[in-house]
Chain A
C-alpha cells in the first residue's frame, strides 16, 4: 500500500477555517504520502484553496493542527523553503520580464540565479524569458508560475487549479509538464475541479465537499470501489427525463447527459437485478431502451456518488 510505504508529507487533523458564520474548511483530516502526485478534488467553494492557503501560511486556521514536511503549520518559515507553490492565478509584476520577475524571487528567497534559466527551460519559456510578463498568454503565465514554484528545488510542489482558464492545448501542455515534474520524484499536491485532468496524472486523491474530506486514498482504490457506470439511451429523446425519474425511483443516482442517461453503479449491490428492474420499469412506462451499456466508471462518477452520499 502506497500510504504505508512512505512518510506523509502533509498531515492535517481537524483543520478548520471559519470566516464569521461561514465555515470554509470543516475539521479536515487528510494526509499526502511522499513522492506521489496527489489530486485535491472538490467543487468550487469546497474549501480547496483555503486549505492550501493554510498549508502555505497565508491564512491562519481557526482550529486544528497540521504539519508540512514534518514541520508545524504555525512556523511556515521552517518548511516553505522546501515548498514551491502556485496559488490560484499566477501573480507577477506585469511590467517586468519573466526573468526579472524570477530574479525578484531568487533575491527574496536567497536562491542561486543559475536556477532562472534552468526552470525557464523546464517550462518551455527559455526563449521568452526576456519578454514583459504582461505580453504573455494565459498558458505562458501559468508556466511562469510553475517555473517560479520550481526555483527553490522544492520537495513539495503545491498547485492550485493550474489548468484554470487554459484552452485544450494549454491543458494538455500543463498535464505533460506536471508529469515531467512528477517524474523527478518530488511530491505534488494539485487541486482541481476538472476531474478528468486529475484522473490521468494522480496516483493519490483527497476529495473534499463543503470543507470536509469525503475520500482519500489511491486513485485505483477509488476507481475499483464499484464505480462502474450504466449508460442508457431511449428511442425517443422526449423520454429521457422520465427515464431519469424512473431510475431515481429505483434508488440510484441518474443524470441526463446529452441524449443519454448516466447512472453511477457505485451504490448498486446487484447490477443484474438492477438492470432488469430498470428495463422492466421503462417498459411499464412505454419507454423503449435502445442502449443499455455498463462502462468503467470515471473519477467524475465516483466523486458524484461520494458527494451525493455525503
Chain B
C-alpha cells in the first residue's frame, strides 16, 4: 500500500495528471465528435466500431459508446507509453535507487507502482467514457437520432462492457510497457522498440499475413479492446493476450527484483 500511495503522490501533480490523465478523455471527445458528424444514413456502412457508423446504429444501444469505442485505436500506444516511461524514467533519473532505499522489497514496489498507474488509466478511461457519452447525447440530437435505447439495460450493459474491455486491454498494454521499460531501462530505446513494433511492424506483417492478428500481442490486445474482431475472437484475445502479458510481466518482474541497481 505504501508503494501505491507514494506513486499516487508522484502522479497527483497537476501537470502529470493533465499529461497522463487527460489525453484519453481528449481523444475520446475528438473521436466522438467525428463519429457523430460522420454518421451516415446509407444502408451499407462500416462496422459499428468505426468512425462512420450508420444513424440507425447510433440510435441503438450500441450508439451510447460509439465515440468511446472509436477512440480505442489510440489506447494501446498511449497506455504502453505511459507504463514504459513510468518505469524506465526511474532508471534514467536514478530515482529507483532512492525508492529502493525506502522500500527494499522490490516486488511490493513494482506491484504498488503498477497498481497506481493502472488506477490513473482506469480513472482516465472512465472520465473518457462519461464525457464521450455526454458529448454524444448533446451532438446526436442535431442528427435527428433518438437516444432512448441508450438508457435501457442493453445500452448501459454496452457501456459497462466497453469500459471493461478497454480497461482489460489497457492492463495488457500496461504489462507490456512495464516489461519493456524494466528490461531495457531506457525511455528512448524502449519507446523506439515498442512503438516500432506496435505501430508499423505488426500492421505491415498483418497486411501480408492476415493470421498475424491471431498471434501478435498488440493485435491480440486490440481484439480485447474491441470485444473481439473478425479474425480474433474475444476469448482468444483474452486468453492468449493474457498469457503473453503474464509472460512479459514475469520477465520484467524477475529483472526488477534480481538485477543490480548501479545507475
Contact = CB atoms under 8 A, between A and B. Distances in A.
Interface of A: 50, 53, 56-60, 76-77, 80, 83, 85, 87-96, 100, 103-105, 107-110, 148, 152
Interface of B: 2-3, 5-6, 8-10, 13, 15-16, 93-95, 97-105, 109, 260-262
Contacts of B95: 91-93
Pairs of residues from A and B, 6 with the lowest C-beta to C-beta distance, nearest first: A91-B94, A108-B6, A107-B6, A76-B104, A109-B102, A59-B260
Contact of B94 (A50, A85, A88): A88
Contacts of A53: 260-262
B234 to A, nearest CB: 38
A85 B261 CA distance: 15
B16 A92 contact: no
A100 B9 contact: yes
A80 B102 CA distance: 7
Contacts of B15: 95
A276 to B, nearest CB: 52
A85 B9 CA distance: 21
Contacts of A148: 98
A108 B99 contact: yes
A57 B109 CA distance: 14
Contacts of B16: 95
Contacts of A96: 10, 13
Would you call the interface of chain B mostly helix, strand, loop, or mixed? helix
The winner among B5, B9, B102 for most chain A CB atoms within 10 A is B102
Given A58-B261, A76-B104, A107 B9 contact: yes
B104 A77 contact: yes
The winner among A90, A103, A107, A152 for most chain B CB atoms within 10 A is A107
Contact of A105 (B98, B109, B260): B98
A89 B98 CA distance: 11
A194 to B, nearest CB: 22
Given A58-B260, A108-B109, A110-B2, 5 more contacts: A87-B101, A107-B2, A108-B102, A109-B2, A109-B102
A89 B94 contact: yes
30 contacts: A53-B260, A53-B262, A57-B100, A57-B104, A58-B101, A76-B104, A77-B104, A77-B105, A80-B102, A85-B101, A89-B94, A91-B93, A92-B93, A92-B95, A93-B93, A93-B95, A100-B9, A100-B13, A103-B9, A104-B6, A104-B10, A105-B6, A105-B98, A105-B102, A107-B2, A108-B5, A108-B6, A108-B99, A108-B109, A109-B103
Contacts of A88: 94
Contacts of A103: 9
A88 B94 CA distance: 10
A245 to B, nearest CB: 42
A90 B8 CA distance: 21
Contacts of A105: 6, 98, 102
A77 B104 CA distance: 6
Nearest to B15: A95
Contacts of B100: 57-58
B186 to A, nearest CB: 16
A59 B6 contact: no
Nearest to B259: A60
A66 B104 CA distance: 17
Given A100-B13, A108-B103, A109-B103, A91 B6 contact: no
Contact of A60 (B13, B109, B260): B260
The winner among B2, B98, B261 for most chain A CB atoms within 10 A is B98
A277 to B, nearest CB: 49
B10 to A, nearest CB: 5
